[in-house]
């Protein structure tokens, strides 16, 4: 993903400096060479040794001394593919805006043509101060990639906007900036989570889908340039750049998916749809004193089959197959019956696979092609393999495995 990419990770003086360690580890895991640069302020919050240990080389702090070059102030920025500042304080943002170079990081920010990502973190009062708002607007206008902070707990127990964005999101955005943009201009809709079918005013028939695999596919598609709609039943924030449509029941999911599929180029049904729903949900709450209820069930529509029947030429339709037995035969049957271009099959009885796990192991099946097995991997890695396959289908290429 980031193999061969050189990223300068600038760390400035805020409580969130400790999260730079996690960001560095994730960037290195994704294949990047991470060059850590700390400001004097950052050293109040984070030990050099810690960051050095989880980056690709020792921390740089000094404008005047460098083990291999006499001119570190220009060298680091010239060689970089990306400069990422996390956390970025109000001070570094202001200095960068006016072009003030006083230390190694501010010099590096000026002596580069690489893209720059700024991840602000500060107290809400500071983040909302007109001078910071103005500086951020100017940087954005210049094409600097700003990763907006989250709302949440801040130093000292305060709560509000200004908390450093989640390291996972920061790294995803870095990958989005540097990774392949092979879905630029492509419209993708993904469903995620399990549907909830009402029994009465308070009870539902649900399933254990966490939605994580669908979210990972939406995030990966967006990072590769697609315009993504995520139709979701779960209460998780939308990945960066993704439009979220919240639904609950199979019926609501069905109409949201058809509305999107009318215009979109790629349709991915990762949601776990209830196969049965109560025929007549009670308006109020069923009372114990009325005895055991008899709940008559009816089948829900097979949304994916409906999308297959309405498929437009050139549209790519992807389904999932959750199986416990005869994985390949059952998945192949779903591929044919629902007119799919790709089915992502998983053995949900295997350890670490499927619902509620952060990992998954899947087999990708395309009509007339050998199955491709993806061994136990993170859901983001599985998402990458699914998107690679979708890109191949759109290009008309066969799997090379």
Q: Return residues touching ligand CTP (CB under 6 A).
A: 250, 269, 271, 273, 275, 300, 302-304, 319-322, 334
388 is an active site residue: no
Q: Which one from 107, 135, 207, 360 is the annotated catalytic residue?
A: 207
- Closest approach of Cβ 394 to ligand CTP, in Å? 19
What would you report as the CA-atom Rg of the chain, rounded to the nearest whole angstrom? 24
Q: Which is nearer to ligand CTP, 250 or 365 (CB)?
A: 250
- CA nearest to 86, candidates 41, 115, 114, 119: 119
Q: How far is the CB of 320 from ligand CTP (least distance, A)?
A: 4
Residue 139 backbone dihedrals phi, psi, to 5 degrees: -65, -45
Of 70 and 356, nearer to ligand CTP (C-beta) is 356
Tell me if 229 sits within 8 A of 242, measured CB to CB: yes
Residues 6+ away with beta carbon under 8 Å from 383 = 213, 216, 217, 219, 220
What would the DSSP string read from start to end of 157-183? G-EEEEEPPPHHHHHHHHHHHHS--TT
Nearest to 350 by CA among 373, 334, 371, 372: 373
Which helix or strand (DSSP H or E) is residue 246 part of? strand 243-246
Is residue 369 a contact partner of residue 400, using CB atoms and an 8 Å limit?
no
Say how far apart CA 117 and CA 373 lie, in whole Å. Answer: 35
Q: How far is the CB of 301 from ligand CTP (least distance, A)?
A: 6
CB of 310 to ligand CTP, least distance (A): 13
Nearer to ligand CTP, 73 or 334 (CB): 334
With respect to ligand CTP, which residue has the nearer C-beta, 177 or 231?
231
Separation between Cα atoms, residue 109 and residue 117, nearest integer Å: 10
Closest distance to ligand CTP from the beta carbon of 229 (Å): 16
Q: Within a 10 A sphere around the Cβ of 11, how many other Cβ atoms?
A: 33
**CB nearer to ligand CTP: pick between 174 and 321:** 321
How crowded is residue 4: how many other Cβ atoms within 10 Å of its Cβ? 9
Nearest-approach distance from CB 335 to ligand CTP, in angstroms:
10
Contact between 90 and 50 under an 8 Å Cβ cutoff? The reply is: no
Of 321 and 390, which has the nearer Cβ to ligand CTP?
321
8 A C-beta contact, residue 103 and residue 30: no
How many Cβ atoms sit within 10 Å of the Cβ of residue 40?
A: 13
Task: Using the minimum distance from each CB to ligand CTP, give the nearer residue, 46 or 322.
Answer: 322
- 239-267: b (≥16 Cβ within 10 Å) or e: bbbbebbebebbebbbebbeebbeebbbb
Rounded to a whole number of angstroms, the minimum distance from the CB of residue 325 to ligand CTP is 10
So which residues are the catalytic ones? Answer: 207
């Amino acid at each position: 993903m980031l193999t061969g990419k050189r990223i300068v990770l600038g760390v400035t003086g805020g409580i969130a400096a400790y999260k730079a360690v996690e960001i560095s580890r994730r960037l290195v895991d994704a294949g990047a060479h991470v060059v850590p640069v700390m400001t004097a302020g950052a050293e109040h919050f984070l030990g050099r040794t810690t960051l050095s240990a989880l980056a690709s080389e020792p921390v740089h702090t000094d404008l005047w001394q460098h083990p291999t070059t006499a001119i570190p102030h220009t060298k680091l920025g010239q060689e970089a593919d990306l400069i990422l500042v996390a956390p970025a304080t109000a001070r570094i943002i202001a200095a960068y805006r006016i072009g003030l170079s006083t230390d190694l990081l501010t010099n590096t920010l000026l002596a580069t043509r690489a893209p720059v990502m700024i991840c602000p973190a500060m107290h809400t009062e500071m983040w909302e101060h007109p001078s910071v708002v103005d500086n951020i607007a100017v940087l954005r206008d210049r094409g600097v990639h700003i990763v907006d902070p989250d709302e949440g707990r801040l130093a000292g127990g305060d709560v509000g906007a200004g908390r450093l964005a989640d390291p996972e999101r920061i790294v995803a955005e870095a990958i989005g900036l540097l990774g392949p943009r092979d879905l630029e201009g492509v419209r993708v809709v993904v469903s995620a989570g399990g549907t909830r079918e009402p029994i009465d005013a308070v009870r539902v028939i649900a399933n254990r889908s966490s939605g994580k695999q669908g979210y990972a596919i939406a995030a990966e598609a967006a990072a590769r340039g697609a315009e993504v709609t995520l139709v979701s039943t779960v209460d998780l924030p939308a990945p960066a750049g993704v439009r979220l449509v919240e639904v609950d029941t199979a019926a609501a999911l069905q109409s949201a998916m058809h509305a999107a599929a009318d215009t979109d180029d790629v349709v991915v049904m990762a949601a776990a749809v209830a196969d049965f729903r109560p025929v007549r949900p009670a308006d109020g709450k069923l009372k114990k004193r009325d005895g055991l209820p008899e709940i008559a069930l009816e089948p829900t529509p097979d949304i994916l089959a409906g999308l297959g029947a309405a498929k437009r030429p050139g549209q790519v339709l992807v389904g999932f197959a959750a199986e416990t037995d005869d994985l390949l035969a059952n998945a192949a049957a779903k591929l044919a019956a629902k007119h799919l271009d790709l089915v992502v099959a998983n053995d949900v009885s295997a350890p670490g696979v499927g619902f509620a796990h952060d990992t998954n192991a899947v087999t990708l099946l395309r009509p007339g092609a050998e199955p491709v097995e993806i061994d136990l991997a993170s859901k983001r890695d599985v998402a990458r393999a699914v998107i690679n396959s979708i890109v191949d289908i759109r290009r008309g290429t066969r799997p090379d495995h």
